[in-house]
Amino acid sequence: MANITVLGAGAWGTAVAISLAARHQVLLWGRDAQAMAEMAAARENRSYLPGCPLPPALQVTGDFEAALAHLQGDATPLLIAACPVAGLRPLLTQLAGRPIPNVVWLCKGFEYGSGLLPHQVVAQVLGDRVPGAALSGPSFAQEVAKGLPCALTAASASSELRQRVVALVHGGTMRVYSCDDLVGVEVGGAVKNVLAIATGVADGLGLGLNARAALITRGLAEITRLGLALGGQAGTFMGLTGMGDLILTCTGDLSRNRRVGLELARGKKLEQVVAELGHVAEGVPCARAVRELASKMGVDMPITHAVAGVLFDGDDPSAMVAKLLARDPRGEL
């Protein structure tokens, strides 16, 4: 049993805290003190994870100092950052200079503006003094919170931290594998959200299961091309954080990014879709960041460019599909 602090009380942070509280001393922190007080009283995160009661052992707080103090006095504590990519740098800035043992992030995406992956943001803010790891894979918060089976990957340059994350998180209905390919794991987790928007558009337009399979398969090729260009390992994209996460996000009805595509295909404006979601759909900001990065690096990513065109350039979803179908034939691999 270990002391674990989860910083970020959105759907995924809450779900991970619920899962880990069955085996560890877990404290969940959120920056809105009033919302955390209401969560503590209701024993439920009604804003982000309704219908999933918090276990009695799970502590919740809006006190940042108390959240960090929870890690003290334990030889193997774990600090989990459960914020969106946009919130990672501000959260890490709060942690900079503090005696934290490690940091494990759950976010998936590229930081817009810098084009950095999460581990690069961590290195910029915290330097080399704090070992870090990504915990990623095909996982819907609602299912994890309900105790349904799930498999994830812990990726880190530190073999010691990889082993610690696996030892503490693996158990019950959650299976955790380890990997040293941080770049590959993070690229897969980021770009699959963009491709889920594309498959949502195709499904919303009624283009059929053949089209969905084609988008997923060619989308995996895009993920792999970008990942290899950034230094990832080819095998990673065939695993949980590549193919696995891509399939789940593109086909699962719980996928927020897929829902964005479905609603765009029905004629709604992006601003309305995002407002109605009430949650962060990471594929939206990620599409812009990936389009810029791919163009800069000369990586061919037509699906990503088409999605970004619909999201930011006013392109019609039907025109997006027509543009992709009109591309010249080429070798598959």
**Active site amino acids:** 192
Helices 283-297 & 302-312, crossing angle to 10 degrees? 130
40, burial (CB in 10 Å: exposed 0-12, middle 13-18, buried 19+): middle
21, burial (CB in 10 Å: exposed 0-12, middle 13-18, buried 19+): buried
Tokens of 327: 């591309």
- Residue 69 CB contacts under 8 Å (≥ 6 apart), including other chains: none
Full DSSP string of 76-121: S-EEEE-S-HHHHHHHHHHHTTS----EEE---S-BTTTTB-HHHH
| Consecutive H or E run containing 250 | helix 245-251
- How far lies 126's CA from each of 97, 159, 222, 233, 272, in Å? 8, 19, 31, 25, 37
Closest of 82, 104, 146, 141 to residue 2, by C-alpha: 104
Closest of 31, 30, 28 to residue 3, by C-alpha: 28
Task: Let me know how many helices (H) and strands (E) the chain has, helices first.
Answer: 15, 8
Helices 283-297 & 182-204, crossing angle to 10 degrees? 120
Distance CA 156, CA 162 (A): 6
Sequence letter at residue 13: G
Closest of 152, 303, 108 to residue 240, by C-alpha: 152
